[in-house]
């Protein structure tokens, strides 16, 4: 009997030690670097579902460390952000998210700068039949009425190297009845900022013998009917062809036409030329919007002598569709649609079903060419499209950007990489926005890549953001090139012929998996942070469960 009691005590001690070990690992290790099969059974069975593992991998974003820039011209403190992502491994045999997961990447992000607008000054310059203050309270001052009827959002910018200034366009809109999301009409407001983001007033730009003074409302013809609404240019994005002297910025936007059709347009702000974009041979959709623009690089000096007459767009993400549009006549045609003769899209997606992600990928920033590629004859681009997920906040959607690498061999396009949900810690969001995912922090959008400085010891993307459809913010992301060139697809060796074979028979289909897993991660992010009452309080636990760097288990 005594021996039995000693054996029981010994067994209990071992059980307590094992439980303590599991608890210690749970609290102090970080799960993000291991696939589920390497996680201790005690953790898998009592705590970690597949979905929860995915959620926890996002948590490292929430407690970034401070780092100072190695760029001698950049004295801002940066925050290190760790996050997971999904790579295109080029094997269309049924990958799941954990199979294409890259558990630990990192970037550094600077604190954001807020670009303020003097709405009173803007309102005083606009005279339009749709701007009618009738019905406003008579006991309010003009300043109070303007504050109640005008708003700004969706700032997009580019760096003009010759002038050494930033050119920025924001959406300015007039609304009544106190409802911002039911605007009567919108306008595109152009401003100039110096290299430190100080606004320059009465700034002159000379263009082909003409002088244009900024700030100003861009002269974009807009259809309207008094009594209606949602007129004028919305969601402006700016793109500038790199490496071309005196290239003119291109403002891309959507706008309502007659018959309630919303169409895409481009506007040249210096030559004052607006073009409606039409897709040849296709039935027009009632609402065209969320096209992500990019310029295909031209390799020779002679080719870059004159600006290109064409711009490309990511028209659709699933399946991936790429448009090429003429900037002068507006004619567009699809240069790529994701559908192969060997593996039909419908049969592939049928075999690669995932849980309902409750989300889609849309719009976001322009895409800019990288100076690294996964192989000869290939060109890669970086951008930040946005996800829209209905998971987590009831009827309200959550928006988050994801870092994306798009690659082409000139005829075919595919996704090499997409990150999980990015919220950039406290660099973009305020304390309240960060902790209130379903209210103030629900909408976080990346609007434009303003500048890509790929020089050694720089490697920064300057990006504009909007939070809660009410701010225009600018921040720098550092380490983009380093992140991309260390992705497994970029480590492969092979001839141009080998890469083309892989692209046409593998990479194109796995694009679907990369996309769906990225969207799923945002839904997981939403479900995690909408089910906690104090997000700050979850950081120590979530970080403790973020990776098991030095442990392996059978």
Residue 104: per-residue pLDDT: 83
Is 32 a domain residue?
no
What is the rounded distance in angstroms from the CA atom of residue 221 to the CA atom of residue 288?
A: 18
Residues with Cβ within 8 Å of 491's Cβ and at least 6 positions away in sequence, in order, are: none
Q: Given pLDDT bands bounded at 50, 70 and 90, which one contains residue 58?
A: very low
**Residue among 261, 259, 316, 271 nearest 290 (CA):** 316
Is 459 a domain residue?
yes
Least confident of 9-13, 131-135, 141-145: 9-13
Instruction: Report the CATH number at residue 257.
Output: 2.115.10.20
User: Is the pLDDT higher at 439 or at 8?
Assistant: 439
What is the rounded distance in angstroms from the CA atom of residue 208 to the CA atom of residue 273?
A: 13
Is 7 a domain residue?
no
CB 484, CB 371: distance < 8 Å: no
Rank 142-151, 486-495, 518-527 by mean pLDDT and report only the highest: 142-151
pLDDT digit string, tens, across residues 283-339 = 778 889 999 999 998 765 566 678 899 999 999 998 899 999 999 999 999 999 987
pLDDT digit string, tens, across residues 171-206 = 999 999 878 889 999 999 999 999 999 999 999 999
Is 481 a domain residue?
yes
CB 488, CB 102: distance < 8 Å: yes
What is the rounded distance in angstroms from the CA atom of residue 337 to the CA atom of residue 344?
A: 12
Q: 488 is written with which tokens? A: 């497994």
Long-range contacts of 453-457 (CB under 8 A, 24+ apart): 454/370, 454/371, 454/481, 457/70, 457/71
β-strand partners of 383: 404
Is 75 a domain residue?
no
Mean pLDDT of the chain: 79
Torsion sign over Cα 368, 369, 371, 374: positive
Residue 549: per-residue pLDDT: 25
Q: Span 218-244, mean pLDDT?
A: 93
Is 297 a domain residue?
yes
Q: Is the pLDDT of residue 553 over 50?
A: no
Got the DSSP string for 533-551?
Answer: S-HHHHHHHHHHTSE-TT-
Is 549 a domain residue?
no
User: Is the pLDDT higher at 3 or at 189?
Assistant: 189
Q: Span 535-540, mean pLDDT?
A: 41
Dihedral angle computed from the Cα positions of residues 26, 421, 508 and 449, in that order, rounded to the nearest 10 degrees: -140
Residue 465: per-residue pLDDT: 95
pTM: 0.81
Is 222 a domain residue?
yes
What is the rounded distance in angstroms from the CA atom of residue 291 to the CA atom of residue 355?
A: 27
3-state SS assignment for residue 465:
strand
Residue 515: domain span: 109-529
Q: Is the pLDDT of residue 221 over 70?
A: yes
Residue 34: per-residue pLDDT: 33
Number of domains the chain is built from: 1
What is the rounded distance in angstroms from the CA atom of residue 270 to the CA atom of residue 79?
A: 37
Least confident of 6-10, 213-217, 432-436: 6-10
Rank 96-110, 431-445, 451-465 by mean pLDDT and report only the highest: 451-465
Least confident of 125-129, 174-178, 267-271, 282-286: 282-286
Q: Given pLDDT bands bounded at 50, 70 and 90, which one contains residue 543?
A: very low
């Amino acid at each position: 009997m005594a021996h039995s009691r000693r054996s029981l005590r010994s067994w209990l001690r071992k059980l307590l030690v094992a439980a303590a070990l599991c608890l210690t690992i749970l609290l102090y290790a970080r799960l993000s670097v291991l696939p589920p099969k390497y996680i201790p059974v005690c953790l898998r069975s009592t705590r970690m579902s597949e979905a929860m593992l995915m959620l926890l991998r996002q948590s490292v974003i929430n407690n970034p460390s401070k780092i100072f820039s190695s760029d001698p011209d950049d004295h801002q403190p940066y925050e290190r952000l760790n996050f997971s992502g999904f790579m295109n491994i080029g094997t269309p045999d049924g990958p799941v998210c954990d199979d294409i997961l890259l558990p630990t990447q990192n970037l550094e992000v600077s604190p954001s700068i807020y670009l303020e607008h003097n709405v009173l000054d803007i309102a005083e310059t606009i005279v339009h039949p749709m701007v009618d203050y009738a019905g406003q309270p008579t006991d309010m001052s003009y300043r109070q009425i303007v504050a109640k009827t005008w708003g700004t959002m969706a700032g997009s910018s580019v760096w003009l190297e010759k002038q050494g200034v930033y050119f920025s366009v924001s959406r300015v809109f007039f609304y009544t009845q106190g409802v911002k999301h039911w605007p009567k009409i919108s306008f595109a407001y152009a401003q100039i900022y110096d290299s430190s983001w100080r606004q320059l007033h009465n700034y002159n730009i000379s263009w082909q013998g003409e002088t244009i003074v900024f700030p100003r409302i861009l002269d974009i013809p807009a259809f309207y009917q008094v009594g209606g609404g949602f007129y004028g240019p919305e969601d402006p994005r700016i793109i500038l062809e790199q490496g071309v002297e005196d290239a003119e910025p291109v403002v891309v936007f959507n706008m309502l036409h007659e018959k309630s059709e919303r169409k895409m347009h481009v506007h040249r702000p210096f030559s004052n030329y607006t073009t409606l974009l039409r897709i040849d041979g296709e039935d027009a959709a009632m609402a065209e919007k969320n096209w992500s623009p990019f310029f295909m690089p031209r390799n020779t000096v002679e080719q870059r002598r004159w600006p290109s007459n064409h711009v490309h767009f990511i028209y659709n993400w699933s399946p991936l569709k790429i448009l090429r549009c003429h900037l002068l006549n507006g004619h567009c045609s699809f240069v790529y649609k994701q559908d192969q003769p060997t593996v039909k899209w419908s049969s592939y997606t049928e075999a690669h079903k995932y849980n309902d992600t409750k989300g889609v990928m849309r719009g976001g920033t322009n895409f800019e060419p990288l100076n690294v590629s996964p192989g000869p004859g290939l060109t890669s681009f970086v951008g930040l499209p946005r996800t829209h997920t209905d998971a987590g906040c009831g009827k309200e959607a959550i928006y988050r950007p994801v870092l994306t690498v798009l690659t082409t061999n000139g005829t075919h396009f595919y996704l090499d990489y997409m990150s999980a949900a990015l919220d950039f810690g406290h660099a973009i969001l305020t304390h309240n926005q960060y902790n209130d995912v379903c209210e103030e922090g629900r909408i976080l959008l990346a609007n434009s890549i303003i500048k890509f400085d790929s020089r050694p010891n720089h490697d920064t993307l300057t990006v504009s953001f909007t939070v809660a459809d009410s701010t225009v913010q600018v921040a720098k992301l550092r380490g983009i090139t380093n992140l991309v060139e260390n992705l497994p697809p970029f480590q492969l060796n092979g001839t141009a012929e080998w890469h083309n074979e892989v692209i046409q028979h593998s990479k194109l289909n796995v694009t679907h998996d990369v996309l769906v897993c990225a969207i799923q991660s945002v839904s997981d992010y939403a479900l995690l942070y909408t089910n906690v009452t104090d997000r700050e309080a979850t950081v120590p636990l979530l970080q403790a469960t973020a990776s098991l760097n030095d442990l392996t288990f059978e």
